Amino acid sequence: GFSQVGAESDWRVANTKSMKSALTAKNGFKLSFADAQQKQENQLTAIRNFIQQEVDYILLAPVTETGWDTVLQEAKDADIPVIIVDRMVDVSDDSLYTAWVGSNFKLEGQKACEWLNQYAAAKNMSEVNIVDIQGTIGASAQIGRTEALNEAVEANGWNLLAQQTGEFTQAKGQEVMESMLKQYDNINVVYCENDNEAFGAIDAIEAAGKTVGSDIANGEIMVMSFDTTNAGLTDTLAGKIACDVECNPLHGPRVQEIIEKLEAGEEVDKQAYVDEEMFAADDTVTSIKVDDADYEVTTITQDIIDGRAY
Ligand code: GYE
């Protein structure tokens, strides 16, 4: 049984597609899928239903990190292994889940912020007046990306004007951007914690008669984002997103492999991070360093977009 957050973003749709494409009857699976519409109580109900159905495995993509101890203990008491997908659970005892597969969200944020730090230096930006359209509060992706920004704001002397959740959706992202534009007339960077919020922010900026782009000196507003969905990279190619940091949603094959190993009585990694890239609209910054590791920044092209799996 797979309890999925919902369909709030292009990323989530790609994640669900990847899971359903791997966990097929042809591959030996019978998948019960539950969409929670971003509500934890729906996930708790779905997990209890899976326990009643005596499924062999429970897959959980948790909407937020806390509140899982009781239901995961019920799954453990029913001898049903739980695999956590994407966001993490914050539980008192990590024997309550067998494995987790997902991204290093803090590193994603650090990569985005270091790109901005290098970009601002290259363009001699006198000040960075930044707003943060956060993801769903309490989701691992929001926690990591926000934490990285807060640390970079301190380290680089940026002005963090506002921080508010856009719930990883385009509609909320647009609404939050509209209100931030009413409050501040000196915003020059918008840090969107996913592509769908960026789409909403871009619409709000353009509706306010301002220009989205990287020419800060001439009053353009630079939009940054995460996920590198097809639509996100298309906006990056158009120069509307200045930097998009990849968050790989293709967890289906990874979860399939974990289950096949468990079925074969083999050990599985408790946590497995996926490797991720980053893309920019131009080649002002072509590589960045985070904690002594180097990361390439790829200038986006249509060919790259056409060649990607999502
Ligand atoms: O960035 C966002 C989705 O948890 C990494 O959730 C995932 C995030 C992703 O809504 O688009």
Identify the residue whose C-alpha is closest to ligand 1 atom 5.
Answer: 141
Which sign does the torsion angle of CA 281, 282, 286, 291 carry? negative
Taking the CA atoms of residue 159, residue 164, residue 165 and residue 166 in that order, the dihedral angle to the nearest 10 degrees is: -80
Identify the residue whose C-alpha is closest to ligand 1 atom 7.
Answer: 141
Report the candidate in 306, 302, 254 with the shortest Cα–Cα distance to residue 275.
Answer: 254
Q: Decide whether any atom of ligand 1 lies within 6 Å of the 8 Cβ.
A: yes
- 83 Cα–ligand 1 center, Å: 18
Report the share of the chain in percent with pLDDT over 70: 100
| Predicted local distance difference test score (pLDDT) of residue 217 | 87
Low-confidence ranges of the chain (pLDDT < 50): none
- 46 Cα–ligand 1 center, Å: 20
Print burial letters for 154-176: b (CB count within 10 Å at least 16), e (below 16): eeeebebbebbbbbbbbebbbbb
Residue 91 CA: distances (Å) to CA of 5, 70, 72, 129:
18, 9, 9, 37
Q: Is the pTM of this model over 0.85?
A: yes
Place of tokens 């650090």: 110
| Best probe residue, ligand 1, of 227, 228, 233, 245 (max atoms within 8 Å of C-beta) | 227
- Ligand 1 atom having least distance to the Cα of 227: 1
Number of other residues whose CB lies within 10 A of the CB of residue 20: 15
Residues 6+ apart with CB under 8 A from 53: 1, 32
Q: Decide whether any atom of ligand 1 lies within 6 Å of the 226 Cβ.
A: yes
| Predicted local distance difference test score (pLDDT) of residue 272 | 78
Q: Decide whether any atom of ligand 1 lies within 6 Å of the 86 Cβ.
A: yes
Q: Decide whether any atom of ligand 1 lies within 6 Å of the 50 Cβ.
A: no
Give dist(CA 310, CA 308) in Å, integer.
Answer: 6
| Best probe residue, ligand 1, of 11, 64, 106, 197 (max atoms within 8 Å of C-beta) | 11
| Best probe residue, ligand 1, of 103, 133, 247, 278 (max atoms within 8 Å of C-beta) | 247
| Predicted local distance difference test score (pLDDT) of residue 275 | 81
- Ligand 1 atom having least distance to the Cα of 229: 11
**Tens of pLDDT, residues 193-235:** 999 999 999 999 999 999 999 998 889 999 999 999 999 999 9
| Predicted local distance difference test score (pLDDT) of residue 273 | 77
- 282 Cα–ligand 1 center, Å: 25
Q: Decide whether any atom of ligand 1 lies within 6 Å of the 148 Cβ.
A: no
